[in-house]
Amino acid sequence: MKASIEENIAQVTEQIADACRHAGRPVASVSLLAVSKTRPAEDIRAAHACGLNRFGENYLQEALDKIDELSDLDLEWHFIGPIQSNKTRPIAEHFHWVHSVDRLKIGQRLSDQRPEAMPPLNICLQVNISREQSKSGCLPEEAPELAKALSQLPGIRLRGLMAIPKATDDEQEQRRAFADLRQLLEQLAADVPGLDTLSMGMSGDLIPAVAEGATIVRIGTALFGARIPKNV
């Protein structure tokens, strides 16, 4: 198990480096977030032993159990799943980043509930960039006003945008969605200071995402293999 995680990390790291070279970007400008949802804590230990320290989780209780179990390691935890407003407190108390804020109320609660002794929680505004029905994320035209409001909350720090574009095998279409998100970030940056993050690209589309400016790629399957189904 450990050997294959190690090989997978080497392969993904090489893919990111290649994509950076093609795009004329420094390799260090893209950070690899290992999406460990449904994977046991042991897989995270194995990945950490290979040099990874940023992990993304979608399911709150599962994440809290792993954060507790792995508290001997120096890890950076990112919440990337849908957020119910009655579940914001443990997120504010236990994570370093949240990528899936898509409305002001969630940002306000995270800001209010962030413990004062901790630095502000890093936030990405999630955008429904492909305008899919019943998908998470604000619409692109809602982003400017939301970003301005989120950037003024003291307990959080708005860092940028996150999106999960419509699934497609067409690389041109993938690139277009990522380019749309990059242009939206550039537009917001005229009004909102400190925006430096584009969280975009998963196992199937990390190369076009890096080509269009991703600064965080969120990779699960390509590192850990197919996910263990949740029986809920």
Name the residues that contact ligand PLP, by CB under 6 A: 35, 37, 58, 80, 164, 202-204, 218-222
**In sequence order, which residues have a C-beta less than 8 Å from that of residue 222 and are 6 or more positions away?**
8, 11, 12, 203, 206
CB-nearer residue toward ligand PLP: 53 or 59: 59
Minimum Å gap between C-beta 190 and ligand PLP is 27
CB-nearer residue toward ligand PLP: 79 or 156: 79
- Report how far residue 143's alpha carbon sits from residue 187's, in angstroms, rounded to the nearest whole number: 10
Compute, in degrees rounded to 10, the torsion defined by CA atoms 136, 142, 143, 149.
Answer: -110
CB-nearer residue toward ligand PLP: 129 or 164: 164
Tokens of 85: 């407003």
CB-nearer residue toward ligand PLP: 112 or 225: 225
Helices 60-69 and 41-49, packing angle to 10 deg: 50
Minimum Å gap between C-beta 220 and ligand PLP is 3
Q: What's the N-to-C CA distance of the chain in angstroms? A: 26
CB-nearer residue toward ligand PLP: 38 or 108: 38
Q: What angle do CA 61, 67, 80 make, to 5 degrees?
A: 60
Minimum Å gap between C-beta 200 and ligand PLP is 9
Minimum Å gap between C-beta 72 and ligand PLP is 26
CB-nearer residue toward ligand PLP: 96 or 112: 96
Residue with tokens 């994320």: 137
Q: What angle do CA 44, 120, 46 make, to 5 degrees?
A: 5
Minimum Å gap between C-beta 100 and ligand PLP is 7
* Residue number of the CB atom closest to ligand PLP: 220
Minimum Å gap between C-beta 98 and ligand PLP is 11
Largest CA distance in the chain: 47
- Report how far residue 89's alpha carbon sits from residue 93's, in angstroms, rounded to the nearest whole number: 6
